[in-house]
Amino acid sequence: MTDTLAGKTAIVTGAGRGIGAGVAQLLASEGAAVVVNDLGVDLDGSSATQQHADDTVELIAAAGGRAIASYADVTSFDAGAGLVQQAIDAFGGLDIVVTCHGILRDRMIFNMTDEEWDAVIAVHLSGTFHVVRHAAGHMREQRTGRIITFSSTTGLVGNPGQANYGAAKSGIGGLTKVVARDLGRYGVTCNSIVPVAATRMTTSVSDEARAKRAERGIARSTEGASGARFDPDDVAPMVGYLASDFASNVNGQFFYVYGKSISVMSQPRLERTIVKTEGFHSVDELRTLFPERVTGQLVNPAPEREA
Amino acid sequence: MANEKLLEGQVALVTGAGRNIGKGVAKLMAEHGASIVVNDLGVALDGSDPSGGPADETVAEIGEGGGEAVANHDSVADPDGAERMVQAALDTFGRLDILVNPAGILRDRMVFNMSLEEWDSVIAVHLKGHFNLISRVSRVMREQRSGRIITFSSTSGIWGNSGQANYGAAKDGIAGLTRVVARDLGQYGVTCNAIVPSAETRMTQSVPDSARALRAQMGIAAASAVAPKHLARPAEAIAPVTVWLASNEAAHVNGQLFYVSGGLVSLVSQPTPGRTVTKPGDKRWTIEEIAAIFPATLGMDMHNPAPAPTE
């Protein structure tokens, strides 16, 4: 046990298993009191059990830390409020929020149902908002706080078969950037982790699907970093750093974490620009200028195949 | 009139085409020979008071210019409405080649005051609206082995803008959706790209000058600060880039984001891992170790977009 987070209270969602369990245990080992939230569902969101949240609480207690379980379903706005209130009631405050919860419903866009879309957006994107929104009010009042969201390479780079998950995770990226700007001046920071790790989520992608993508020349999102090699517990130290007083001025950033490596993700910038100072380009002007100066070297990530 | 018509014989569905950006796109696509389904719910900026007027006006103007268009007044947030828009294209014009989706609303609020209704309505129109249309047009385009999908993201999502947690999340979500759809459909000859527009429209005019001044005073970076302020940013400036992306000449352009602000057009870089630190051996980082190396490595040149005032 060390004490970089002594006296602080944290909420960690999806903390029953995978990355969230590792984060909850590390925050507790650094002295934070932790609300371990997990609905305990299967990967597709079905059949809830309280067992997983309880398991993490027991592990933390056995190591001498402080934790309580929450089985709240963050797809409810009011449950987000309740989760924040639970932390304040149990431990007298709320300093750190980490949102690791998630589900998957992979399907190619042309076969994806409204229900598959809605379920993933509700859990990842709205679920993150519901917790962050209520934590934000409390943290603004106390003039300090740390919010750490979870995005994904699927959202930031793109991965076939995950329109719902990619939209949700990129949406969490946008939410993170706005929340950083809404709360920074109150001493609150909001940053995002882009993890690569072998968890239930990544192992559900079948070898068959991977092989099919490779065969068709469809670019994978993780630039050769195979999630299968990386321990989910490796993600926790960077979360702990962002939650600590050391990181008080780190805000609105994205950190790609895989194994023992941490990268800062580039912020979008304007590259390859054409400017016309009077009016705007006509289609005819663009037909010449665009291929020459803007789009000429672009590579289609999923080139057309002969039918 | 265009020198050469790039969209002759094609059919386009343009949402939010009753006003501003959508209207400019619909009219220019019609000039380039496309038949248009002009969708507009005709609501106020916050999504209230629907009226068929704006879509009908655009259809009339296209007709006066010698083009072909039909109006649709459904909401993009309604899956059945999206279905009817696609069906309108197939029933009226026999095919569907192009989807352009600038339809949108705003409900700005600081995140700590944002209501569930403000969040849900913006996510429903922008993000679910894009899914409703893309999932349905992709079935048609995959079958015909060609198609162009042009989505609308925003500087608020790409760079972040204070007071727009709902809009920023939806618009960056659309960027992520665009990247995945490009990879799902590219192999079938369909492309999906996003426009990140900066223009003087109803939406941007709704941000009061007092809010802009307050942000500047507090040192909160505004997302639109990337564009040179002295250049005019008419809504019509978005249309030519959209037409070109919809043409056969842009067949290899897929999964990209294009920032358009008046006469400035730029490819937006995709997020990539930059500076990296790796701890050798099998032991995990400790918080203190990361804190020790951070300022001179990962944190170099990093700045807080909304720093707390110094006491």
Least Cα separation, residue B102 to chain A (angstroms): 17
List the CATH number of the domain containing A228. Answer: 3.40.50.720
Range of A249's domain? 9-264
A258 catalytically annotated: no
Is A2 among the domain residues?
A: no
Helix, strand or coil for residue A246? helix
Q: ipTM score here?
A: 0.93
B167 catalytically annotated: yes
Which of A27, A105, A178, A267 to mutate to probe the B interface, most B CBs <10 Å?
Answer: A178
Cα nearest neighbour of B305 on chain A: A181
pLDDT tens digit string along B197-241? 998 776 666 665 556 666 666 666 555 445 556 678 899 999 999
Q: Considering only CB atoms, which chain A residues are within 8 Å of B182?
A: 158, 301-302
Beta bridge partner(s), residue A107: A162
List the CATH number of the domain containing B152. Answer: 3.40.50.720
Does the distance separating the beta carbons of A136 and B265 come in below 8 Å?
Answer: no
Q: For the ranges A256-265, B212-221, B269-278, B286-295, which has the lowest average pLDDT?
A: B212-221
Instruction: Spot the catalytic one: A70, A126, A152, A221.
Output: A152
Is B111 among the domain residues?
A: yes
Which of A113, A175, A246 to mutate to probe the B interface, most B CBs <10 Å?
Answer: A175
Which of A29, A129, A177 to mutate to probe the B interface, most B CBs <10 Å?
Answer: A177
Does the distance separating the beta carbons of B169 and A172 come in below 8 Å?
Answer: yes
Q: What total of structural domains would you count in chain B?
A: 1
What H or E segment, with its residue span, contains residue A191? strand A188-196
Instruction: Spot the catalytic one: B119, B167, B258, B259.
Output: B167
Q: What total of structural domains would you count in chain A?
A: 1
Residue with tokens 């059919």: B11
Choose among B3, B130, B253: nearest Cβ to A295: B253
Range of B248's domain? 11-268
**A285 Rama sector, left if φ>0, alpha if ψ -120 to 50, beta otherwise:** alpha
d(CA A227, CA B20): 45
Is B287 among the domain residues?
A: no
DSSP tag of B152: E
Least Cα separation, residue B243 to chain A (angstroms): 7
Least Cα separation, residue A199 to chain B (angstroms): 18
Report whether pLDDT(B96) > 80: yes
Q: Provide the token pair at A35.
A: 């609300």
Is B80 among the domain residues?
A: yes
Q: How many beta-carbon contacts under 8 Å exist across A and B?
A: 405
What are the respective helix, strand and coil percentages of chain B, to the nearest 5? 45, 15, 40
Is B218 among the domain residues?
A: yes
Is A3 among the domain residues?
A: no
Amino acid at B32: H
Q: What pLDDT, on the 0 to 100 scale, is given for residue B148?
A: 98
Is A280 among the domain residues?
A: no
Choose among A237, A274, A283: nearest Cβ to B2: A283
Per-residue tens of pLDDT for chain A, all 307 residues = 689 999 999 999 999 999 999 999 999 999 999 999 999 888 887 778 899 999 999 999 999 999 999 999 999 999 999 999 999 999 999 999 999 999 999 999 999 999 999 999 999 999 999 999 999 999 999 999 999 999 998 888 899 999 999 999 999 999 999 999 999 999 999 999 999 987 766 666 555 566 666 666 665 544 344 555 789 999 999 999 999 999 999 999 999 999 999 999 999 999 999 999 999 999 999 999 999 999 999 999 999 987 5
Helix, strand or coil for residue A14? coil
Question: Of A125, A149, A97, which is closest to residue B120 (Cα–Cα)?
Answer: A125
Does the distance separating the beta carbons of A179 and B131 come in below 8 Å?
Answer: no
Is A221 among the domain residues?
A: yes
Does the distance separating the beta carbons of A167 and B180 come in below 8 Å?
Answer: yes
Q: Provide the token pair at A38.
A: 């997990």
CB B131 within 8 Å of CB B83: no
Cα nearest neighbour of B281 on chain A: A260
Is B309 among the domain residues?
A: no
Does the distance separating the beta carbons of B254 and A302 come in below 8 Å?
Answer: yes
Does the distance separating the beta carbons of B264 and A273 come in below 8 Å?
Answer: yes
Is A270 among the domain residues?
A: no
Residue B69 pLDDT class (50, 70, 90 cuts)? very high
Is B297 among the domain residues?
A: no
DSSP tag of B164: B
Q: What pLDDT, on the 0 to 100 scale, is given for residue A222?
A: 45
Q: Provide the token pair at B164.
A: 């727009």
d(CA A264, CA B297): 9
pLDDT tens digit string along B115-134? 999 999 999 999 999 999 99
